């Protein structure tokens, strides 16, 4: 899992970069179990374990760090102190650069707590810095690994009674449910390591659920994972990694096709080109959300023609809010400010009448009734007669989800 520490680049060649992998987990026990496997199998690898605790008065948290493994030269040259208060991304960037300077080809396993919102946090950690050392200069990106305790998985992704605040891009997030925090962690991973008691097989339903929550990830058992391979030690450039993390945070995106798994869990994607009637959508929510464990996507409300409406649920909790503005053909500044992925997707799906505007939501749950969900959402779309009335009339429609009427 780690490069040969004795290997050196031939004279005149650029020395190899270090490799930085990230480890999270839905319980400390299973996260620690994999970190222990890495230490036993690859004693030259360095594990940098992190905890983050909100301070009582300081807006920044207390960041505790502990290193394990690696050579004595790493231990001596990169003393990692505990109890620093500040931006975790800045503190960890300094730690990681110190570890690389101590050994050029080091492989670091950065173990992060559940209080981190992975995608925006990693974007900040790997942010390019003009005139200063960046992680790009020292490391390639390894996989983002998530250990999943199958025994607590369903409880975690349906827990809406507890709230959580996650550290993301330089600050704490707004309060969100524990279920939302758990699902985000699974969705951000490149490799999912499934843990079960003893040597018992991983429940089929748990595997199916994580495959539907993250269809692009490798899924493997935690007890006997391979010692190497792309799922555990694959390298990619920091630029490609940042592109993937940023794409996952886009307000407007194209959802992946549902995976083909046994019927314990199913997924579907609903798409529509015309806007939704806010009142009819509110009335249809009971039919739409019945049996749904996770849903996410974006919508176009007729009474809010300029706003991208973000839709996200985990367990029985649904969050609907304005997240962005639709791109307009004549708004050059907005097109230039949009990401390359957003511009490409908008051009690809552009409609002469609707422009970029469209609706798309993905749903996951056990035995979803696709006909019921699709029918309820289709029934909430505005009719041909309502479409002909235009935005001036739509803006006056009552909006149970956002308030009495849309703002002027």
SS (H, E, C) 185-218: HHHHCCEEEEECCCCCCCCHHHHHHHHHHCCCCE
Compute the distance between CA of residue 224 and CA of residue 124 in angstroms, rounded to an integer. 33
> Which helix or strand (DSSP H or E) is residue 318 part of?
strand 317-325
Compute the distance between CA of residue 185 and CA of residue 157 in angstroms, rounded to an integer. 10
- CB atoms under 10 Å from CB of 263, counted, come to 8
Compute the distance between CA of residue 112 and CA of residue 97 in angstroms, rounded to an integer. 17
Q: What tokens does 63 get? A: 């960041």
Residue 128 has pLDDT above 90, yes or no: no
- CB atoms under 10 Å from CB of 179, counted, come to 24
How confident is the model over 94-125, as pLDDT tens digits?
Answer: 999 999 998 888 999 999 999 999 999 999 99
Provide the pLDDT for residue 259.
86
Residue 255 has pLDDT above 60, yes or no: yes
Of 142-146, 239-243, 252-256, 259-263, the least confident:
259-263
- Assign 6 a pLDDT band (cuts: 50, 70, 90): very low
How confident is the model over 175-228, as pLDDT tens digits?
Answer: 999 999 999 999 999 999 999 876 676 788 899 999 999 999 999 999 877 777
Provide the pLDDT for residue 404.
56
Terminal C-alpha separation, the chain: 58
Compute the distance between CA of residue 288 and CA of residue 375 in angstroms, rounded to an integer. 9
Q: Which residues contact 263 (CB under 8 A, 6 or more apart)?
A: 367
238-247 LR contacts (CB < 8 Å, sep 24+): 238/126, 238/135, 238/136, 238/139, 238/140, 238/141, 239/136, 240/141, 241/122, 241/126, 241/141, 242/123, 242/126, 243/341, 245/119, 245/120, 245/122, 245/123, 245/188, 246/123, 246/339, 246/341, 247/339, 247/341
Task: Give the residue-averaged pLDDT of 393-402.
Answer: 93
Q: Which residues contact 266 (CB under 8 A, 6 or more apart)?
A: 212, 258, 364, 365, 366, 367, 368, 370
Task: Give the residue-averaged pLDDT of 244-273.
Answer: 90
Provide the pLDDT for residue 81.
54
Q: Which residues contact 29 (CB under 8 A, 6 or more apart)?
A: 149
Q: What tokens does 168 get? A: 């993301």
Compute the distance between CA of residue 350 and CA of residue 329 in angstroms, rounded to an integer. 10
Residue 2 has pLDDT above 80, yes or no: no
Cα dihedral sign, 249-143-74-3: negative
Rg of the Cα atoms in the chain: 23
Residue 10 has pLDDT above 80, yes or no: no
Scan for tokens 């496997």, then name that residue.
37
Q: What tokens does 108 get? A: 């670091």
Compute the distance between CA of residue 49 and CA of residue 52 in angstroms, rounded to an integer. 10
- Assign 296 a pLDDT band (cuts: 50, 70, 90): very high
DSSP 8-state class, residue 236: B
- CB atoms under 10 Å from CB of 312, counted, come to 20
Scan for tokens 């794409």, then name that residue.
247
Provide the pLDDT for residue 356.
96
């Amino acid at each position: 899992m780690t490069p040969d520490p004795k290997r050196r680049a031939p004279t005149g060649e650029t020395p190899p970069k270090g490799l930085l992998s990230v480890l999270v987990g839905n319980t400390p026990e299973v996260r620690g179990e994999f970190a222990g496997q890495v230490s036993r199998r690859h004693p030259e690898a360095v594990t940098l374990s992190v905890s983050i605790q909100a301070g009582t008065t300081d807006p920044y948290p207390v960041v505790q760090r502990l290193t394990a493994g690696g050579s004595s030269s790493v231990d001596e040259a990169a003393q990692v102190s505990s109890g620093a208060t500040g931006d975790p991304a800045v503190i960890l960037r300094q730690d990681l650069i110190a570890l690389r300077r101590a050994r050029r080809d080091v492989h670091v396993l950065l173990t992060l707590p559940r209080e981190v919102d992975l995608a925006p946090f990693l974007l900040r950690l790997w942010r390019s810095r003009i005139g200063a050392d960046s992680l790009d200069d020292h490391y390639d990106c390894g996989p983002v690994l998530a250990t999943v305790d199958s025994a607590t998985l369903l409880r975690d992704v349906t827990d809406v009674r507890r709230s959580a605040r996650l550290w993301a891009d330089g600050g704490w997030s707004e309060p969100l449910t524990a279920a939302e925090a758990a699902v985000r962690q699974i969705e951000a991973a490149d490799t999912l390591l499934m843990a079960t008691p003893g040597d018992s097989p991983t429940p089929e339903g748990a595997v199916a659920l994580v495959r539907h929550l993250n269809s692009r990830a490798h899924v493997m058992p935690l007890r006997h994972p391979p010692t190497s391979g792309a799922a555990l030690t694959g390298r990619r450039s920091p630029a490609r990694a940042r592109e993937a993390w940023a794409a996952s945070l886009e307000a407007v995106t194209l959802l992946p096709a549902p995976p083909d798994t046994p019927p314990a869990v199913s997924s579907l994607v609903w798409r529509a080109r015309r806007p939704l009637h806010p009142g009819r959508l509110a009335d249809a929510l009971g039919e739409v959300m019945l049996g749904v464990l996770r849903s996410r996507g974006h919508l176009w409300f007729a009474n809010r023609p300029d706003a991208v409406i973000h839709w996200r649920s985990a367990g029985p909790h649904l969050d609907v809010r304005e997240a962005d503005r639709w791109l307009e053909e004549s708004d050059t500044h907005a097109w230039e400010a949009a990401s390359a992925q957003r511009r490409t997707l908008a051009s690809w799906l552009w409609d002469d009448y609707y422009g970029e505007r469209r609706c798309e939501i993905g749903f996951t749950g056990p035995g979803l009734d696709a006909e019921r969900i699709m029918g309820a959402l289709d029934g909430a779309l505005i009719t041909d007669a309502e479409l002909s009335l235009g935005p001036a009339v739509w803006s006056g429609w009552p909006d149970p989800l956002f308030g009495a009427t849309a703002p002027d």
